[in-house]
Amino acid sequence: MRAVDLSPVPRQDQTQRPFDLFLIFVGANIVATTLQVGATLPRGLSFGGTLAVIAAGALAGAALVGVLAPIGSRLGVPSIVATRAVLGCNGARTLAVLLFVTNFAWIAMNNVIAASITVRLIGVGSTAAWAVGLGVLATVVVLSGPRGVALADRIAVPLLVVSGIVFTVACLRRPWPIPPATASVAETFGGLDIVAGYQVSWLLMFADYPRYVASGRRAGVAVFLGLLLTALWFMPLGYVASLIAQSADPGMMVYAVGLGWWGAVLLTVATLTTNFVNIYMSALAFKSLFPAANDRSAVWLIGGIGAALGVLSTSWIEQFANLTLLLAGMLVPIGGILLAHYVVLRRPVAVADLYADAGPYHASRGWSLAGTAAWLVGAAVFQFSHGIGATLPCLAASIVVYSMLARPGRRAR
């Protein structure tokens, strides 16, 4: 199996087990940035209120990605190709550029967090050396293809679970202050947007790995549970650890709970498993823009730049919440458009048309009127509705606009 393949997966090749798909998403979401979500939630929330915000946001975000996962099984195409049906060819290219560029931030952030914590805890090497080493190792695994990633996760995820249990016990053995409940309604909804937005950041992986699973229903359940269960576990851990450390800095949090080398194992392995999928998503986006590019070159380009950015700057951590909300504002409308087309309207899509040079998705220079309008309106709604919670209004607006413009009797593309 090729490391980066944009072509549709034949039905006879959809042999990946749903459990392997579950492990891929578990490995992707057990990571320092998931801890960071809990650490960056408003301190004015009560403990119960924080847990409620995490539960609601994690459920909403995981459900959106899980509902879309069966599209991958049904069509056998990667996410960036499936979006051609709703955005047109040029719209999908724009989304690919967005994914390609922003994923460098996630790769770099994961490398920086893991490298800095590992150096602090074990005192060996430098942050730059660890960041480069982790980036190269993740890249090598991605080069082995989706099945290679699944095999690596069979070893890595159990190790992550054990490390996570050690982290949980360490947090429970230490007292932490409970902040007073002073958060406003706007701050509460802002926290909800951060949690849901973080989960939705996995949106454009909705078909990339599920397309190798024959059962769409089982693929959807695997994706949903993989994202939900890990968020419900690690986001509260991040919140508690930040209270213990009195800091949202991930290095301080892990050091304060006294994890020692277990913390280094957790963050190092977690960085690898989440960057498996980050590099793969970016490589697919790059190949959609430059189909003639060599697979190995594309993967090395992305993994190398991600590692280099981690060396050059540690400011990614400080911009975590802003990055999450920025991506949510761009990706939640895409989720609404995909839901409207594939789930609400149930529009049939011929796989051959998604790849045809002169197919229906290339008409009008490849821009979808319905998709483009819904994307812009949804993004605008997200930006102007933070005070009442932006995720659900944004999602609803994009679904309504697309459904109206793409209704029967009116051309959507």
* 273 neighbors 27 (Cβ within 8 angstroms): yes
- Torsion on CA atoms 59, 331, 132, 227, rounded to nearest 10: 20
Per-residue burial over 212-240, b if 16 or more Cβ lie within 10 Å, else e, is: bbbebebbbbbbbbbbbbbbebbbbbbbb
CB atoms within 10 A of CB 39: 24
Residue-level pLDDT at 363:
47
Hey, CA dihedral for 339, 340, 341, 345, is it positive or negative? positive
14 — phi, psi (to 5°)? -85, 75
Per-residue burial over 274-299, b if 16 or more Cβ lie within 10 Å, else e, is: bbbbbbbbbbbbbbbeeeeeebeebb
What residue numbers bound the domain in which 226 lies? 16-315
Q: Is residue 91 part of a domain?
A: yes
* 375 neighbors 314 (Cβ within 8 angstroms): no
Residue-level pLDDT at 136:
83
Q: Is residue 38 part of a domain?
A: yes
Calpha distance 56→2 (Å, rounded): 38
Residues 6+ apart with CB under 8 A from 204: 79, 80, 83, 95, 99, 281, 331, 334
Q: Is residue 330 part of a domain?
A: no
Q: Is residue 341 part of a domain?
A: no
- Torsion on CA atoms 228, 234, 239, 241, rounded to nearest 10: 170
Q: Is residue 143 part of a domain?
A: yes
Residue-level pLDDT at 297:
84
Residue-level pLDDT at 125:
72
Q: Is residue 390 part of a domain?
A: no
DSSP 291: T
CATH number at 52 reads 1.10.4160.10
Which amino acid makes up residue 230? Answer: T
Q: Is residue 320 part of a domain?
A: no
- Side-chain-side CA neighbours of 206 within 13 Å: the count stands at 31
CB atoms within 10 A of CB 301: 18
Which residue is listed with tokens 């095999």?
Answer: 151
Domain count, the chain: 1
Residue-level pLDDT at 413:
38
Can you give the C-alpha Rg of the chain in angstroms? 20
The DSSP-derived string for 87-98 is HHHHHHHHHHHH
Q: Which of 267, 281, 291 is nearest to 117 (CA)?
A: 267
Residue-level pLDDT at 322:
67
| Per-residue pLDDT reduced to its tens digit, 8-45 | 999 999 999 999 999 889 988 887 788 888 988 888 88
Residues 6+ apart with CB under 8 A from 392: 60
Residue-level pLDDT at 321:
59
CB atoms within 10 A of CB 165: 12
Q: Which of 368, 382, 383 is nearest to 338 (CA)?
A: 368
Q: Is residue 222 part of a domain?
A: yes
Per-residue pLDDT for the chain (413 aa), expressed as one digit of tens each? Answer: 555 678 899 999 999 999 999 988 998 888 778 888 898 888 888 888 999 999 999 999 999 999 999 999 999 999 999 999 999 888 899 999 888 887 777 787 777 777 777 777 677 777 778 778 878 888 888 888 777 777 888 888 888 888 888 889 888 888 888 877 787 887 888 889 889 988 998 898 899 999 999 999 999 999 999 999 999 999 999 999 999 988 877 777 877 888 777 766 777 777 778 888 888 888 888 888 888 888 888 888 888 887 777 665 555 555 555 667 777 888 899 999 999 999 999 988 889 888 876 666 654 457 888 999 999 999 999 988 876 778 889 999 999 999 999 865 444 33
